[in-house]
């Protein structure tokens, strides 16, 4: 599995949110539009997962993820935020890049594979910086396709 199996060009977006709660609402709305599932179900799944512990992985990156009832295959959405938001990340830094990963409820190993492939690609600080500075979604998608 590679990041482009999960994130498509149309699921690379710019978002604005005042706080983490508003960010989750915006993510759920964007995801719902693309996977044709109820926004409320996605928001509920994200909120329940986040209650277990922050998905802010550090370096300005968050990777909220959750299994969602009715989802047939893993779905990813990569968002650049207009302004960083407080996120309770492991390093305490605010977040300006968010990679949402939704998986089928019975995703099993596929869920871990989806998260691992995205995390591996976004781990290097250089890649995150290139995403921040990219002109648009197509450029970001090209970065996801590059060999790591």
Number of CB atoms found within 10 A of residue 114's CB: 24
pLDDT of residue 146: 80
Catalytic residue among 20, 30, 65, 128: 65
Q: Please compute, for residue 27, the number of CA atoms within 13 A of its CA located in the half-sphere on the CB side.
A: 31
* pLDDT tens per residue across span 6-37: 899 999 999 999 999 999 999 999 999 999 99
pLDDT of residue 107: 66
Query: Do residues 28 and 43 make contact, with C-beta atoms less than 8 angstroms apart?
Result: yes
Number of CB atoms found within 10 A of residue 89's CB: 18
pLDDT of residue 50: 96
Structural domain harbouring 137: 3-145
Number of domains within the chain: 1
CA distance 29 to 24: 9
* pLDDT tens per residue across span 53-62: 999 999 999 9
Helices 137-145 and 125-133 cross at an angle (nearest 10°) of 160
pLDDT of residue 5: 79
65 as an active site residue: the answer is yes
* pLDDT tens per residue across span 94-129: 999 999 999 999 865 565 677 788 888 898 999 999
CATH number of the domain residue 37 falls in: 3.40.930.10
pLDDT of residue 132: 95
pLDDT of 2 over the 80 cut: no
């Amino acid at each position: 599995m590679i990041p482009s199996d999960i994130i498509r060009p149309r699921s690379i977006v710019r978002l604005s949110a005042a706080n983490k709660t508003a960010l989750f609402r915006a993510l759920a709305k964007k995801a719902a539009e693309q996977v044709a599932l109820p926004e409320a179900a996605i928001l509920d799944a994200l909120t329940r997962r986040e209650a277990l512990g922050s998905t802010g992985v550090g370096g300005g990156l968050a990777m909220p993820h959750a299994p969602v009832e009715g989802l047939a295959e893993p779905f990813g959405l990569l968002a650049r935020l207009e302004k960083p938001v407080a996120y309770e990340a492991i390093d305490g830094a605010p977040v300006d890049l968010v990679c949402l990963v939704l998986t089928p409820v019975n995703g099993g190993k596929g869920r871990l594979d989806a998260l691992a492939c995205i995390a591996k690609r976004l781990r290097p600080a250089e890649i995150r910086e290139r995403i921040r500075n990219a002109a648009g979604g197509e450029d970001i998608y090209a970065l996801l396709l590059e060999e790591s």
